[in-house]
Structure 1
Amino acid sequence: MAVYTHVSAEEMAALLLRYDAGTLTSAKGIAEGVENSNFLIDTSGGQDGERFILTLYEKRVDAGDLPFFFALLDHLAANGVPVPRAIRDRDNKQLQQVAGRPGCLIEFLPGVSVSHPNPAQAHAAGQALGQMHAALTDFKLDRPNTMGPEGWHELAAKCSGDLDAIAPGLSVRVTAELEWLDGAWPRDLPRAVVHADLFPDNVLMRGDDVGGLIDFYFACTEVRAWDIAVTHAAWSFDNDGTGYRPEIGDAIIAGYDAAFGLSDAERAAFPALARGACLRFLLTRAWDWLNTPAGALVTRKDPLAFLRRLDHYARL
């Protein structure tokens, strides 16, 4: 989440007129994340007021993909997975136009994103991911993974020699990793729709329990076990990519096993899947680091934090 496009109070108030949500009482931009513009909206609706998230979709999210995301969230919610659905207005529309951008009003889920998860929270997150995968076994829609192995080559080429401005020798290292993954990537494992971005800030915790899974805008059809590798890499290290915490990594796998489980082939492929996860986030963070517009209300994230994680998985 972030804010690239600013929305006036008048525009927000006009949007709310399309819903049975009350009138605008407060609004605040949300700086976390890098993909879309997001605002926390409070209204006079209900007995004690209501709270929503207003999301405007920026350049990286194709408006043509939004029906897929909305259908995915509706399907998960209908199957008991705690996710925030896009709210339908009085005309049954989920997608709106706000400040010249496609956008929607989204359910607010209570909970906090933890920066230093404990093993119980990691176990709960792994279990929630497994429950999500179980709920999606009968989901019929597909979406290509634009941030998958083919996309890594394209993104690395776009970053080109600028990678060395982030760290000397980074371009050579990325090229070597791409070559290794081209040969090692497990293309014969089961595929399914995955979240693909289940970082701690995309899991809302209520104590040691999961209150919600959010931010599905990278969801796609991919090797299903890649999702657990992404989650493992995102949760099991200090923020700077050092200090691997085995008790967290083990708890994520144990929670996932309790709800869905990994096959022997998926376990054998885990190091390659985790290295692919690290390269994917190294490259997207590098691109954002090099191209975030001046003045954007957004927190840039260090690409080298995932180079350090990649070094860990390369030693497995």
Structure 2
Amino acid sequence: GWPPLLAMCERGAGGGGTPVADELEAALAVILPAWPHDLPRGHIHADLFPDNVFFLDGRLSGLIDFYFAATDLYAYDLAVCLNAWCFEADLSFNVTKARALLAGYGTRRPLAPAERAALPVLCQGAALRFALTRLYDWINTPAGALVVRKDPMDYVRRLRFHLSVRDADAYGF
């Protein structure tokens, strides 16, 4: 669904041709042909951001917002988490957080070699997804709406990082 979403953003922004739209279009051209289709899949949350996860006494106590839950690649859910939890306020990637996240994940469900190899493109796709949905909301949220728009550039910057990654070792393996 990413190409149609980008097209809707371009129409809403007056027909596209903006530097951000061009950058996202170029990213799509890299990500879609490389997207894995044969990795382990099952039920995923697909939106495990810090504001959807609750802790009590240092332990996970609850998850909310299952709107995007789906049957999809398990490693894609991990890629969403790397995007949501492992970047600092200045949008630099925190490899220490990523290493801890990956190690914790691996204690419950070790990644298969193919999942590990696909992690860069999965992270690219996750960053692209949130850049696109935020861009769509940025363009289409009516004045006076009781929602807080989120800056799509935060995820464009994450996408740039992931596009620069050569292999999964950059994530702290």
Instruction: Using structure 2 for the length normalisation, give the TM-score.
Output: 0.88
Give the aligned partner of residue 176 of structure 1.
26
Radius of gyration: which is bigger? 1
Task: Give the conservation status (yes or no) of the 8 Å contact 1:163–1:286.
Answer: no
Please give the residue correspondences for 1:74-93 in structure 2 after superposition, counting only pairs within 5 Å.
Answer: none
| Structure 2 partner of 1:152 | 2
TM superposition shift of 1:230: 0.4
Supply the distance in 1 between the matched residues of 2:89 and 2:65 (Cα, whole angstroms).
19
TM-score of the aligned structures, taking structure 1 as reference length? 0.50
Is the counterpart of residue 248 in structure 1 residue 87 in structure 2?
no
1:209 maps to amino acid: R
Answer whether contact 1:239 1:305 (CA < 8 A) is retained: no
Runs of at least 4 residues off by over 6 Å: none
Does 2:150 match 1:301?
Answer: yes
Partner of 2:168: none
Q: Structure 2 vs 1, CA of residues 235 and 164 (structure 1 numbering), >3 Å: closer, same or farther?
A: farther
> Kindly tell me: are residues 245 and 164 of structure 1, through their superposed partners in 2, closer, same or farther at Cα, counting changes over 3 Å?
farther
Deviation at 1:294, TM superposition (A): 2.1
Residues 260/164 of structure 1: CA separation in 2 closer, same or farther (3 Å cut): farther
Q: Is the 8 A contact 1:164 1:171 kept in 2?
A: no
Identity of aligned residues (%): 47
More helix by proportion, 1 or 2? 2
The offset of 1:314, in angstroms, is 0.9
Distance change >3 Å, CA 287–CA 239, structure 1 → 2: farther
The aligned counterpart of 1:286 is 135
Question: In 1, Cα distance between the equivalents of 2:12 and 2:149?
Answer: 16
Q: 2:137 is matched by which residue type in structure 1? A: D
| Highest RCO, 1 vs 2 (Cα 8 Å, sep ≥ 6) | 2
> Which whole-Å CA distance do the structure 2 matches of 1:310 and 1:152 have between them?
14
- Structure 2 residue matching 1:269: 3-state secondary structure: helix
User: Out of 197, 214, 220, which is 2:47 matched to?
Assistant: 197
Identify which of 22, 26, 36 aligns with 1:186.
36
Gaps of 5+ in 2: 166-173
Q: Quick check: which one's strand share is greater?
A: 1
Q: Which runs of 5+ in 1 are unaligned?
A: 1-150
Aligned to 1:264: 113
